[in-house]
Structure 1
Amino acid sequence: MNASQFSVLALAIAAIALVLLVAFCIQSFQYRKRTEQTLETLRQQVASVSAQSKDVGHQVEEQQNRSLVQSKHIQQLQEEITGFNNQIREVKLQDPSMRMYQRAAELVKQGASLEEVMESCDIPRAEAELIVTIHKK
């Protein structure tokens, strides 16, 4: 091999090496660009999920607050109902005629006949019939 052939061969090898280096740089650049795009997409998705998570957290907190307010209202209503029931019970116990009708209702529930209710409670037939109609099973 003479010097000119060696120079051509060296030049050819250098050219091939240069082409390979350029190809490697292009591939590396494209890979880096795809990696950056993927990372940016992932960042956007993480930001979106984070925002959605915060929204859900706020919705849960709001729902818990509503439930707490509703529980307080329900408790107040139950207390009022208990108070009303106590007042009704007191009124029934204070009114002698109401005791008579309560006794008549109890007799009907125990299976007493119309005549037995009228005699035991000393109430007219129409009222006894009404009580029997209302309280008979």
Structure 2
Amino acid sequence: MTTQLSGLEVLINDLQQEIFKTTDSVDKYQQQTKDWQVEQEQVSGQLTHRTNTLKESIKSLQDEFSNFQHQQPEDKLYSRAQKMVQLGADVDELMTECQLPKIEAEMLIAMHKRNSKSSN
């Protein structure tokens, strides 16, 4: 019976050591999991910041593009008006074809005349 008791004590000691090792392994795993979670939260925060920065950049570019699109038709009209003046268009033609106010049409013609004189 003492040998049986002694064998049980050895078995209990072995089981206690295995429980200790298992508990230690679980503690290490939990710490690794916590570390991984913290790291993932940091990465997620950085990605959120980058995403917001990119969204702001995209919005800014969209606004600039929209402004450019709104300006472009006017630029085309003035370019067309300048070409018409070079080809000899008068104030009435500029007003009709380019939808310019009379004062702007007169100014474009006057500028063309002035530039033509200074070129000669």
TM-score range (shorter-chain normalised) is 0.5 to 0.7
The residue number in structure 1 matching 2:81 is: 83
* Structure 1: segments with no counterpart, 5+ residues: 92-137
What is the 5 A alignment of 1:1-137?
Answer: 3-88=1-86, 89-91=88-90
Instruction: Report the alpha carbon displacement of residue 87 of structure 1 after superposing the two structures with TM.
Output: 4.6
Distance 2:76 2:64 in 1: 18
Number of equivalenced pairs: 89
Distance 1:20 1:34 in 2: 21
Output one character per residue of 1:59-97: Cα deviation in whole Å (capped at 9) or x when no partner: 011011111112222221212222344455334xxxxxx
Larger radius of gyration: 1
RMSD (Å), alpha carbons: 1.7
Instruction: Report the alpha carbon displacement of residue 7 of structure 1 after superposing the two structures with TM.
Output: 1.5
| Aligned-pair identity (%) | 4
Instruction: Report the alpha carbon displacement of residue 14 of structure 1 after superposing the two structures with TM.
Output: 0.5
* Structure 2: segments with no counterpart, 5+ residues: 91-120
Distance 1:65 1:45 in 2: 30
AA aligned opposite 1:27? S
